[in-house]
Chains A and B, each alone.
Chain A
Amino acid sequence: MRTTWTFPKVASIVGAVILAVIWLVPLLWALDTSLKPEPETTLSPITWLPQAPTTEAYRSVVEQGDLIRWFMNSSVVSILVTALTLVVSVLAAYGFSRTSFPGRRVLFGLIIAGILVPPQVLIVPLFQEMTGLGLVDTYWGIVLPQVVAPVMVFVLKKFFDGISRDYEDAARVDGATRWRIVWSVMVPMSRPILVAVGIFTFIGAWNNFLWPFIVTTDPSMMTIPVGLANVQGSYGLRYAQIMASAVLGGLPLLIVYALFQRHVVRGVGDAGIKG
């Protein structure tokens, strides 16, 4: 298609780019600061680019060691949350969509009601419960409450409801059990939506602040967001180091996002969020 450069078209591109630059400036400023020697960070008037760029701040931050530990914790927690949420929710959604058992309607209604319970109001009793179960400062303590996602069961059940039973019946004729049908028919057929909710579950788990903040007190068990907020690894003038740790803390998901942007964007549409 030929492009005619009308004023509105040019203006919209310029506007879009300006907006993009505004959105990128904070990130660039963090990067900029992290490359300055500490004394330069508190100069006034401020310097725009580092006069003597150095990676000193990064070296200090990495040497303190905690960040690497938190990165590992975040990875373990996010993978566990994503995998368990998907498995548990798929099974439940299948159960509610395709089987019947006594109390099914009541239970499903209960789960729908659970969507209304904001996790934020449960922090106090949930922490007490974790104390009782001995799960404070453990991976399971961080992970398990995040696995309960009634909204996910609801979305997947709705999706499964829309999948024709013919495929399932065909598989059954071949002798497949229900269990096998879930994994060999329902899951492959729901792949786009599972990828989408999986990505967002992962981002959500990686960035979750409040619950890991409540349930971890031991710095060696903290995730990246919690550790960065609670543990101080350097002293005195340390703006460059703080920005270096912010850059490192944000980088993993930025990379993941840059690589999977297509899936993320399409996923939002596929996940049935589209109106």
Chain B
Amino acid sequence: MKELFKHKTALFSLSIIATLIFLALFAPYIALYDPFEIRVDQILLPPSLKHPFGTDLLGRDVFSRVIYATRISLEVSLVAVGISVTIGTFLGALAGFLGGIVDLIICRFIDIMLCFPTIFLILAVVAYLEPSILTIMIVIGITSWMGVARLVRAEILSLKERDFILAAKLYGASTFRIIFKHLLPNALPPILVSASLGMGHAILIESALSFLGIGVQPPIPSWGNILIEGKETLEIAWWLSVIPGLAILVTVLAFTLLGESLQEILNPKKEK
């Protein structure tokens, strides 16, 4: 933990993430206007003191919408990563610890899932469902656990031959107990790293889906669906396409940098 605050990149990305969480939690107090309020008399106003990020096609305040969208994006990616880390850790631990036929089946399953381009798989599933925030959380979660599963499997494989596991076995600990009490806590560092990288990935996918019209549905604001209007008004309203995109870039960058610095801190062998 101490090292985390000494590491400059980690500190930088953590402060961005802290700011984002703050914005998300206190969105109602920070937003200047109701993000859903339509004002026909204030359509497409450029950024000004009254509307720092301008207004959109329906006269809604873009600043307030971008702040609320932070909440939505973080929510979606947090739940999606929660799902993918849970599935990945479970299957990875099972494969690594049990080995043999179970390992073979899970590894093949991972290979097969990796053959599907994520966007295509998500599109195919979403086509059968009503697009909603819950749908995309689940769909992103169940299509992005493979990396975690491979990581955990590799980690468990190298851990399970160690003496302290042998000791636990001799002591008569159950398989369940060995996995959850002894193996997983030691496999936590790489899981944390991939969770942080996964947050960035989930935000990118969520915004891409929303931009394509099958993610978060208007009027609920999302950085991706604000950009839809940005595309329609490319010639006249630059703020509608520049600002939400910048928000995505900064957020994903923060989570990616955090993941990378965590890797450096937790795995000193690879220190550059």
Q: Please say whether chains A and B are actual partners in one complex.
A: no
* Interfacial residues, chain B to chain A (CB-CB below 8 A): none
